Amino acid sequence: MSSCLPHGLPHVDAMTPAVLVITGPVTRGEVTGWCDALRELLGPAGGRLVECDVAGIGPPGLAAVDLLARMQLTARRSGGRIRLRDPAPELRALLDLVGLRFDVVGQPEQREPPLDVQEAVETGDPAL
pLDDT digits (tens, 9 = 90+) for 75-127: 999 889 999 999 999 999 999 999 999 999 976 555 545 445 555 556 666 66
In a domain, 127, yes or no: no
Domain count, the chain: 1
**CATH label of the domain that carries residue 65:** 3.30.750.24
In a domain, 14, yes or no: yes
Q: What count of other Cβ atoms lies within 10 Å of the Cβ of residue 42?
A: 23
Distance CA 83, CA 54 (A): 10
Distance CA 33, CA 39 (A): 10
pTM to 2 decimals? 0.70
Provide the domain limits for residue 92: 10-103
DSSP state of 28: G
